[in-house]
Chains A and B, each alone.
Chain A
Amino acid sequence: DARVTQTPRDKVTEMGQEVTMRCQPILGHNTVFWYRQTMMQGLELLAYFRNRAPLDDSGMPKDRFSAEMPDATLATLKIQPSEPRDSAVYFCASGRGINEQFFGPGTRLTVL
């Protein structure tokens, strides 16, 4: 049963530290999405890749966030420096084509 995997599942860090979240999309999927979920804002799209190329990262604060796909099996989301307002659950999702998005279990980030 293929699944999107995300590491770490939980991360607690101090303000100012760098945070890197990793996602392994389902093999064969060519689209990868990063979402952030908070109680106040709900689910927000941060970045979107198709065939490893970033197509939309308009939802991402550019000064501190960066998203990359070094290869087809790995997507990363980095925050540097982290701030308390970045505390959220970060989801990665992957799919084939436009009608499917399978979500990973999420990374719960707490920035103190």
Chain B
Amino acid sequence: AQKITQTQPGMFVQEKEAVTLDCTYDTSDQSYGLFWYKQPSSGEMIFLIYQGSYDEQNATEGRYSLNFQKARKSANLVISASQLGDSAMYFCAMRENSGYSTLTFGKGTMLLVSP
């Protein structure tokens, strides 16, 4: 079974609108971490945001926020006020504390922001 599922292969949004990228995860660990990375066309992987499983507040970093719903095992990324530069692949990833702290990545969602 996939540990990280991103069901949206592609998403379109207009500039200045908000967009939500879905991510669900599967783990039996009580302690784990959830990450979002952005990969623009240049290819580098850019860390965006982190949520720990015991964090009570949803993580926020500027225009990025993570909608963490632990019971539903979802960790959706919300980008507010989309910009053209947000067009990229977005990857959700999980670190399970029972392992060696490595990341398991989802397949990614391609976000295209139009003017």
Which chain A residues have a beta carbon within 8 Å of chain B's beta carbons?
A: 31, 33, 42-43, 45, 48, 50, 55-56, 89, 91, 93, 98-106, 108
Which residues of A sit under 8 angstroms from B33, Cβ to Cβ? 98-99
Contact across chains for A98 and B43 when beta carbons are under 8 A apart: no
* Interface residue tally for chain B (C-beta within 8 Å): 25
Chain B residues positioned under 8 Å from A102 (CB to CB): 47
Binding stretch for chain A, among B10-18, B68-76, B105-113: B105-113
Chain B residues with a Cβ under 8 A of chain A = 33, 35, 37, 42-47, 50, 52, 91, 93, 95, 97, 99-108
A42 and B108 contacting across the interface, CB-CB below 8 Å: yes
Given contacts A33-B103, A108-B43, 7 further A-B contacts (CB under 8 A): A42-B105, A42-B106, A43-B105, A48-B102, A99-B95, A101-B103, A104-B44
Specify which chain B residues have a CB less than 8 angstroms from the CB of A43 in the assembled complex.
91, 93, 105
- Cβ-defined partner of B103 (8 Å) among A45, A50, A108: A45
In the complex formed, the residue of B with least CB distance to A106 is B43
With A42-B105, A42-B108, A56-B100 already in contact, the answer to whether A100 and B43 are too (CB < 8 A) is no
Q: How far is it, in angstroms, between the C-alpha of A33 and the C-alpha of B103 when the chains are bound?
A: 9
